């Protein structure tokens, strides 16, 4: 159901969105969507949404929208006690499938703002995916923003922000009530944080990788954010680098963020033309598969040598490879237990070596 924002209500506390400056160059002056969900649990794969609350802000104009959602399953008693949303309340409400188009339209083209945003985005992404809709908004997490702007505070949950900024919240643990808190929080932050510092903190969180010039569009987004191994390939298909992660897309993207600062990553980004991947059951299986692929493919950018002939790359014309150089064992004078014994010195003398003494 749609409810226009009551203007007077937003002037309570330290956060007043009407005081947002109209500088079009700042990130927070683009169309925004403050989002909060209530769910039957914490796992997007098994649990379902019970309520959606969205507050949009466009050119200083606020618009509120919220709806109960039938999760098509029972709401656990603990969730009923926390949110006040009961199985009886959501029974007969629209399902997410019936609300999907409207929710997508309200969020389209807007910066997605939520507290612990991975939770809300993850549930929406899972629900949209069940209906064949790809949901990948630009996301700003207010919990992460609070930690970056106020490192001196230990707690950054929603209750802590409500108390710290004197925000009025008449409907805690309800989707629209919590979404309103986010609007007021950002309004309070803009009132007391220097614009340059706030913009820098937001930009740090929104930083997106600049894709390599030869990488096909959409290849990065097509990677699953799940455990597995990945291989960067050169133009001729030769393997350049093998890596593993419990979140493939996030890890691959980090290479292209780092290419602005690290020479190795910059060279790698200039040469990569395609990415292949293989899903694994978990972190351990990904680690084992990565080790196996490094040995089989011998990629040039992996730190450890995958084959003996690769090690000769670091050797000069008059310098043997590292593994071929003899190593001298050093005895620690500060560790009596590791000093050579008389028997050791005698054995070394028999071989013609000069015995070392402490």
Has residue 306 got a pLDDT over 50?
Answer: no
Question: DSSP letter at 338?
Answer: G
Average pLDDT over residues 21-44: 84
The answer to whether 226 touches 248, Cβ cutoff 8 Å, is yes
Domain ranges in the chain with CATH number 3.40.1440.10:
219-314
Report strand pairing: 274-279 vs 228-233.
Answer: antiparallel
Has residue 280 got a pLDDT over 90?
Answer: yes
Tell me which of 107-121, 175-189, 220-234, 301-315 is least confident. Answer: 301-315
Average pLDDT over residues 72-87: 96
The answer to whether 265 touches 240, Cβ cutoff 8 Å, is no
Query: What pLDDT is stored for residue 345 in this prediction?
Result: 53
Annotate 173-190 with DSSP letters as a single string: TSHHHHHHHHHHHHHHHH
The whole-angstrom separation of Cα 296 and Cα 307 is: 9
Nearest to 205 by CA among 115, 109, 119, 139: 139
The whole-angstrom separation of Cα 254 and Cα 163 is: 35
CA distances from 78 to 75, 82, 86, 128, 178 (A): 8, 6, 10, 26, 19
Domain ranges in the chain with CATH number 3.30.420.10:
2-206
Has residue 16 got a pLDDT over 90?
Answer: no
Nearest to 121 by CA among 110, 109, 135: 135
The answer to whether 67 touches 51, Cβ cutoff 8 Å, is yes
Average pLDDT over residues 48-56: 98
The answer to whether 135 touches 104, Cβ cutoff 8 Å, is yes
Query: What pLDDT is stored for residue 286 in this prediction?
Result: 95
| pTM as predicted | 0.61
Look at domain 2-206 and name its CATH class.
alpha beta
- List b or e across 44-81, with b for residues whose CB sees 16 or more CB atoms inside 10 angstroms: beebbbbbbbbbbbeeeebebbbbbbbbeeebeeebbe
Query: What pLDDT is stored for residue 353 in this prediction?
Result: 52
Banded model confidence at residue 10, pLDDT cuts 50, 70, 90: very low
Partner residues linked to 243 by β-bridges: 230
CA distances from 87 to 75, 96, 268, 350 (A): 5, 15, 53, 87
Has residue 70 got a pLDDT over 60?
Answer: yes
Banded model confidence at residue 170, pLDDT cuts 50, 70, 90: confident
pLDDT top residue among 177 and 332: 177
Query: What pLDDT is stored for residue 352 in this prediction?
Result: 55
The whole-angstrom separation of Cα 190 and Cα 199 is: 10
According to the 3-state scheme, what is the secondary structure of 129-163? HHCCCCCCCCEEEHHHHHHHHCCCCCCCCHHHHHH
Q: In the numeric block, which tokens belong to residue 46?
A: 């098994």
Banded model confidence at residue 5, pLDDT cuts 50, 70, 90: very low
Banded model confidence at residue 348, pLDDT cuts 50, 70, 90: low
- List b or e across 303-340, with b for residues whose CB sees 16 or more CB atoms inside 10 angstroms: eebbeeeebeeeeeeeeebeeeeeeeeeeeeeeeeeeb
Banded model confidence at residue 80, pLDDT cuts 50, 70, 90: very high
Average pLDDT over residues 43-63: 94
Has residue 158 got a pLDDT over 60?
Answer: yes
Average pLDDT over residues 306-330: 44
Tell me which of 110-119, 129-138, 206-215 is least confident. Answer: 206-215
Query: What pLDDT is stored for residue 328 in this prediction?
Result: 53
Has residue 194 got a pLDDT over 60?
Answer: yes
pLDDT, mean over the chain:
81
pLDDT tens by residue, 85-127: 999 999 999 999 999 999 999 999 999 999 999 899 999 999 9
Annotate 256-298 with DSSP letters as a single string: HHHTTT-HHHHHHHHH--EEEEEE-SSHHHHHHHHHHHHHHH-
Largest interatomic CA distance in the chain: 96
Under CATH, which number does the domain 219-314 receive?
3.40.1440.10
């Amino acid at each position: 159901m749609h409810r226009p924002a009551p203007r007077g209500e937003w002037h309570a506390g330290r956060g007043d969105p009407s005081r947002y400056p109209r500088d079009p160059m700042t990130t927070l002056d683009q169309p925004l969507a403050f989002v909060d969900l209530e769910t039957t649990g914490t796992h997007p794969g098994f649990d379902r949404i019970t309520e959606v609350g969205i507050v949009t802000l466009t050119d200083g104009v606020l618009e509120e929208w919220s709806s109960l959602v039938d999760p098509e399953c029972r709401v656990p008693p603990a969730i009923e006690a926390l949110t006040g949303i009961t199985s009886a309340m959501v029974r007969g409400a629209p399902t997410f499938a019936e609300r999907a188009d409207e929710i997508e339209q309200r969020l389209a083209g807007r910066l997605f703002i939520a507290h612990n945003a991975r939770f809300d985005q993850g549930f929406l992404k899972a629900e949209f995916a069940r209906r064949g809709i790809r949901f990948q908004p630009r996301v700003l997490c207010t919990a992460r923003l609070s930690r970056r702007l106020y490192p001196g505070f230990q707690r950054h949950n929603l209750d802590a922000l409500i108390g710290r900024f004197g925000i009025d919240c008449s409907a805690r643990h309800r989707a629209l009530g919590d979404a309103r808190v986010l609007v007021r929080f950002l309004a309070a932050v803009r009132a007391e944080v220097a614009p340059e510092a706030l913009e820098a903190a937001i930009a740090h969180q929104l930083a997106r990788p600049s894709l390599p010039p030869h990488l096909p569009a959409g290849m990065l987004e097509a990677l699953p954010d799940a455990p597995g191994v990945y291989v960067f390939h050169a133009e001729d298909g030769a393997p350049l680098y093998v890596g593993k992660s419990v979140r493939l897309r996030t890890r691959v993207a980090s290479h292209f963020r780092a290419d602005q600062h690290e020479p190795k990553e910059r060279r790698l980004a200039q040469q990569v033309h395609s990415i292949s991947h293989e899903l694994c059951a978990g972190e351990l299986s990904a680690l084992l598969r990565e080790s196996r692929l490094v040995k089989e493919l011998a990629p040039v950018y992996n730190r450890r040598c995958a084959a003996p002939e690769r090690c000769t790359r670091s050797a000069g014309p008059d310098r043997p490879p590292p593994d071929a150089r003899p190593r001298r064992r050093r005895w620690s004078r500060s560790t009596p237990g590791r000093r050579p014994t008389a028997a050791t010195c005698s054995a070394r003398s028999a071989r013609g070596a000069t015995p070392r003494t402490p």
